[in-house]
Structure 1
């Protein structure tokens, strides 16, 4: 993902030939580290050289079997049979705070590290209360994998802790939830800044999308181009968010969606979280939930391959039917589907079944 529209010169990645700019540190297509020198380039096997946020600081779990051949992972983090580097916990993880809410976050195929992040929370009763946050680190910025995970968790914690209901009217209830979303975005922004080196030439940055469900009230807030959708069982699918991106601006002027979202600057975002962000107040959408359905929050690693609400709703419903309606299995299958389409980007899928 590119950060914002700039006047930089666009060239080709020496590894895969994908489009890059002179400001990019990593290729968006393959994740290769871009070297400033003019000498021969070599593939970047592991560009994640900076410290990363621990998924579970209290317990370091040993590496499992090799994902390539099933062999044993040695002390050097490489497979003793085929030599493949072990998958880091940050590369693929999941969360399921309640049986009806789950999320899966995956590195994808082409990127060398996972810059996506997700954090979710939910009450036990299905359809009662749930908070889902997805942040997508900007590939051209330093430590975006650290910043995105810290941001998602900070926002989730603010949303889960607050339970303001206003003064008893519906409008005050909506205003109270929107205020919580704004506070969550502030906390996420602070987390990004806390994980940015003061002298960084490319400060850490990420997108932000969050949904709050409280009974029949659903509110989504967005900064950037991660998305939220509502797929009711008996009504038309709804895109809850509109991207802050160059592609969205083109679509607003009448350019066909497919053309805008596949152009050379399709993923250039116009708002983000970070030190150089122009504004991080989320734009919100409010919806009254009138029946059962699926709530989806995702990064562009999924919607790149199925952008419009109606066909994406069909994909989710078909996948859920094959997974017996289980949210974690459905989210995992959707990640697998995106990888099968090419896995060009990191992939995050968060689902709630109402």
Structure 2
């Protein structure tokens, strides 16, 4: 091995170059190759923001459900988070959108998704998973005036039934037709009125359980997609391919926000709203 700064020989076990003192664990810039990437992911030489793992993520399940999350075109990082898994004969999805005006919004969404998905996969009720996620996000704050925050929507699909829980303006839709299944906690100006975070106050989730009478797709998404829905937006097809198509639509329309889309096929057993 050689030092990326001075090219002196170094051993794999060494943390610093003995010749120039360069930390050997410092990542190399993907553009200029220098070991000068700072803690925020920017190269101190050329200024390039390094690609991050969450800039673009795709998930697929054997049963056909699929999800995609992308940084979009105008944000410096992806503050959305998603989980998609199968457990106990059901498909579980959680999507959270970090509130951009809050600090460490990406950490808030990641914490909420991780905790809620684990709870739902373990059989927790929608309300319980929501409260556990809310606690996890609130615990990230060192002061109420410096509180990470995120929106929340979860879905559990199994036995022909769908259970949704949400707070904020992340949404669920029924496809085909783009029928909105959730209601936004937001003012006409777009400002949200409910979220997860230490500064949110007491927040109870909206919960809806229903059994569709026809097969279709459940779409769970952030406002990076819902802000661009209009007549003619595709509403059917293979979930993985459709998720990529919808992402491309959001990016082509401006991509002003992070975009997260989860699509779950639903084969009903019959029934009505409960």
TM-score by length of 2: 0.77
**Correspondence 1:287 to 2:215:** no
Q: Which has the larger radius of gyration?
A: 2
Give the Cα–Cα distance (whole angstroms) in 1 for the partners of residues 245 and 63 of structure 2. 16
Aligned position for 2:269: none
Alignment partner of 1:274 out of 184, 197, 209: 197
| Alpha-carbon distance between aligned partners in 2 of 1:132 and 1:72, rounded to the nearest angstrom | 39
Shift of 1:72: 8.4
SS in 2 for 1:230: strand
For 1:174-230, what per-residue CA distance to the aligned partner results, in whole angstroms no more than 9, with x for missing partners?
xxxxxx11111111111112222x236331111011111121111111100000011
Where 1:149 maps in the other structure, the secondary structure is helix
Pair 1:316–1:107, CA change in 2 (3 A): same
Q: What is the DSSP-based 3-state SS (H/G/I as helix, E as strand, rest coil) of the residue aligned with 1:188?
A: helix
Greater percentage in helix: 1
Partner in structure 1 of residue 220 of structure 2 = 297
Q: Report matched runs for 1:1-354 at 5 Å.
A: 75-76=35-36, 84-122=48-86, 129-162=90-123, 180-196=125-141, 198-199=142-143, 201-232=145-176, 237-247=178-188, 265-266=189-190, 268-306=191-229, 311=231, 314-317=233-236, 320=237, 325=238, 327-354=239-266
Distance 2:175 2:33 in 1: 41
Residues in 2 aligned to 1:121 and 1:72: alpha-carbon distance in whole angstroms: 39
Residue 345 of structure 1, CA deviation: 0.5
Give the count of matched residue pairs.
Answer: 234
For 1:200 and 1:244, the matched residues in 2 are separated by 21
| 3-state SS of 2:235 partner | helix
| C-alpha deviation, 1:75, in angstroms | 4.5
Give, in angstroms, the shift of residue 105 of structure 1: 1.1
Residues 122/74 of structure 1: CA separation in 2 closer, same or farther (3 Å cut):
farther
Shift of 1:104: 1.1
Shift of 1:306: 0.7
CA RMSD between the two structures: 2.6
Q: Which runs of 5+ in 2 are unaligned?
A: 1-26, 267-274
Unaligned runs of 5+ in 1: 1-61, 164-179, 248-264
Q: Distance in 2 between matches of 1:151 and 1:299?
A: 14
Name the TM-score, length of structure 1 as normaliser: 0.60
Determine the C-alpha separation between the residues in 1 that align with 2:118 and 2:99: 22
Summarize the Cα distance change of 1:237–1:136 in structure 2 as closer, same or farther, 3 Å threshold: closer
Give the whole-Å Cα distance in 2 for the aligned partners of 1:142 and 1:206: 10
